[in-house]
């Protein structure tokens, strides 16, 4: 297996060892983007790619599952805002976030006003 390129966060050889793991899963009419690890300047492009993939599937609901995120930097928050803008007003987006560090970061910058927050992915799917 090829070693990941630490200077290229879009490197397909990347794995959770680079700080973040991202997966996209369809659940009925919804699409869930599950993220675990740290969302910072180097890892956010993986979230951006997954969110773009999820939006191409044209779901009726997009859930960003951040319950496994242990650090949410400003680049990660900017990525969440970009997903909201790309989705437009017609697609509901819900966030699942449990770590107090992540929830507090979102509250400090007001993202809790932009995104409904739920403690689990299942709660976010149920609404």
* Interval 22-52: pLDDT, tens: 999 999 999 999 999 999 999 999 999 999 9
pLDDT score of 19: 82
Lowest average pLDDT, out of 11-20, 52-61, 64-73, 79-88, goes to 11-20
Answer yes or no: is 112 within a domain. Answer: yes
Answer yes or no: is 79 within a domain. Answer: yes
CATH at 24: 3.30.750.24
Q: pLDDT band at residue 11, thresholds of 50, 70 and 90?
A: very low
Answer yes or no: is 9 within a domain. Answer: no
The C-alpha torsion from 6 through 62 and 98 to 38, rounded to 10°, is 10
Domain count, the chain: 1
Relative orientation angle of helices 44-56 and 74-87, to the nearest 10 degrees: 10
Answer yes or no: is 7 within a domain. Answer: no
Answer yes or no: is 15 within a domain. Answer: no
Strands 93-96 and 20-27: unpaired
pLDDT score of 3: 38
Does 97 score more than 80 pLDDT?
A: yes
Q: For residue 82, what are the domain limits?
A: 20-126
Q: pTM of the entire structure? A: 0.84
């Amino acid at each position: 297996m090829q070693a990941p390129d630490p200077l290229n966060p879009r490197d397909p050889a990347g794995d959770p060892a680079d700080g973040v793991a991202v997966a996209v899963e369809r659940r009925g009419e919804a699409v869930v983007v599950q993220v675990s690890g740290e969302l910072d300047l180097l890892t956010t492009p993986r979230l951006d790619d997954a969110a773009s993939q999820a939006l191409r599937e044209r779901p009726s609901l997009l859930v960003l599952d951040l319950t496994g995120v242990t650090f949410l930097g400003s680049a990660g928050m900017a990525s969440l805002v970009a997903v909201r803008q790309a989705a437009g007003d017609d697609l509901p987006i819900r966030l699942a976030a449990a770590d107090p560090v992540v929830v507090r970061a979102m509250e400090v910058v007001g993202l809790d006003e932009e995104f409904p927050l739920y403690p689990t992915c299942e709660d976010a799917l149920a609404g």
